[in-house]
Amino acid sequence: MTHTIELLHHLWQQASHVIAPMRLLLALTIVSSMSGSIVVQARWETPETRRAPRRVSTPSPTPTAVVLPDEAQVPILMYHYVSELPPDADSYRVDLTVKPEDFRAQLQYLAAAGFDTITLDDLYLHLTKGHPLPNKPVILTFDDGYRDAYEVVYPMLVEYGFTATFFILATPAHFESPQYLTWAQMKEMADAGMAIQSHGRDHVDLRGRSYEYLVYQTVGVKEAIEYHTGQPARFFCYPSGRYDDDLIAVLKSAGYLGAVTTEWGTTASRAGLFELPRLRIRGNTSLAAFASMLKH
Ligand SMILES: [Zn+2]
């Protein structure tokens, strides 16, 4: 029995690296019968089976014959900091920082204009299974997992009944850097309906890297998010928007379903799930400019 469990453990270690978009569920349930034989029950994890309830407008019943859309117009907004500027802010920090009052005005605009926030899971299910989207979907994304995501962004999102996606890095979370989200904060946010997704282990250019290095930078962070939040992590944000075919291949083999870039655009396509474009919200983006971006 002990030997068999060790064998199963070994098989699971192998299975965790299996090249498959649908990943074998973490638990292999062992049912021991009276004769001492062992039955292993496995089931496939799919977005439907593990999907947290999200705020999506009344979906219609699933039709029997689904015609899949090749693409969808879904603005994915890209934020970094939402905070007051530190006194020593350089030009990069100024560009990457949206002030809290400006962010609030943007949320107010989205609510008043009838936008519904969705997640990347919702977009994936729309493009691959034909699940309906709200009339005016928008995806809010926050890169790098800065502490203000918990202190400023998260409370405002709750206030407006919105969800958002946070792309976090494993290393600063592991070392509990005061500038970044902790695992406990991420867990609280995930429990409240926020999506915690992967931005890599560290914030490095992943182009032209070896297979082993790409695995090192992309697999552990995914598993850490899932371990700490109890929610699946299936989407990746390319550090500094840089990627190549080798990286996409490793992401697919690790069970990721898509990735966002820093390319400008609002067209998400089924063929381009690993090259989803976004709209960058800058520190000096006016509310008028924000509104006109969302009109396509
Ligand atoms: Zn980043």
Q: Do you know the residue count of the chain?
A: 296
Same domain as 93, residue 8: no
Per the structure, the count of domains in the chain is 2
DSSP state letters, 92-137:
HHHHHEE-HHHHHHHHHHHHHTT-EE--HHHHHHHHHH-----SSE
Q: What's the CA-to-centroid distance between 239 and ligand 1, angstroms?
A: 5
CA dist., res. 289 & res. 283, Å (int): 12
Contact 194, 150 (CB under 8 A): no
CA dist., res. 278 & res. 274, Å (int): 12
| Selected residue with higher pLDDT from 250 and 37 | 250
Q: What's the CA-to-centroid distance between 53 and ligand 1, angstroms?
A: 27
Is-above-0.85 flag for pTM?
no
Q: What's the CA-to-centroid distance between 143 and ligand 1, angstroms?
A: 5
216 located within any domain: yes
Same domain as 116, residue 15: no
70 located within any domain: yes
CATH code, domain with 101: 3.20.20.370
Q: What's the CA-to-centroid distance between 290 and ligand 1, angstroms?
A: 21
CA nearest neighbour of 192 among 226, 221, 150, 142: 150
- Over 60: is that where the pLDDT of 46 sits? no
185 located within any domain: yes
Chain-centroid distance of CA 102 in Å reads 24
Q: What's the CA-to-centroid distance between 14 and ligand 1, angstroms?
A: 31
Q: What's the CA-to-centroid distance between 168 and ligand 1, angstroms?
A: 8
Same domain as 201, residue 64: yes
Same domain as 68, residue 15: no
Q: What's the CA-to-centroid distance between 8 and ligand 1, angstroms?
A: 38
Token pair of 165 as six digits: 């996606």
Q: What's the CA-to-centroid distance between 204 and ligand 1, angstroms?
A: 9
Q: What's the CA-to-centroid distance between 146 and ligand 1, angstroms?
A: 10
Same domain as 287, residue 202: yes
173 located within any domain: yes
Q: What's the CA-to-centroid distance between 65 and ligand 1, angstroms?
A: 40
46 located within any domain: no
- Residues spanned by the domain of 84: 51-293
- According to DSSP, residue 82 is labeled E
Same domain as 108, residue 72: yes
Same domain as 17, residue 150: no
71 located within any domain: yes
Contact 47, 235 (CB under 8 A): no
Same domain as 100, residue 33: no
- Over 70: is that where the pLDDT of 152 sits? yes
112 located within any domain: yes
186 located within any domain: yes
Q: What's the CA-to-centroid distance between 257 and ligand 1, angstroms?
A: 19
- Over 70: is that where the pLDDT of 296 sits? no
Same domain as 100, residue 14: no
The helix or strand, by DSSP H or E, that contains position 195, with its residue range, turns out to be: strand 195-198
CA nearest neighbour of 68 among 127, 125, 135: 127
CA nearest neighbour of 139 among 291, 285, 294, 296: 294
Same domain as 123, residue 29: no
| Selected residue with higher pLDDT from 293 and 48 | 293
CA dist., res. 285 & res. 272, Å (int): 27
Same domain as 89, residue 34: no
Q: What's the CA-to-centroid distance between 62 and ligand 1, angstroms?
A: 37
Same domain as 220, residue 137: yes
Residue with tokens 């290095």: 213
User: SS3 helix, strand, coil % of the chain, rounded to 5?
Assistant: 40, 20, 40
Q: What's the CA-to-centroid distance between 288 and ligand 1, angstroms?
A: 26
Q: What's the CA-to-centroid distance between 203 and ligand 1, angstroms?
A: 6
Question: Residue 62 — pLDDT band, cuts 50, 70, 90?
Answer: low
Mean pLDDT of the chain: 86
Contact 97, 82 (CB under 8 A): yes
Per-residue model confidence (pLDDT) at position 49:
42
Count of other CB atoms within 10 angstroms of residue 270: 15
Q: What's the CA-to-centroid distance between 289 and ligand 1, angstroms?
A: 23
184-202, pLDDT tens digit by residue? 999 999 999 999 999 999 9
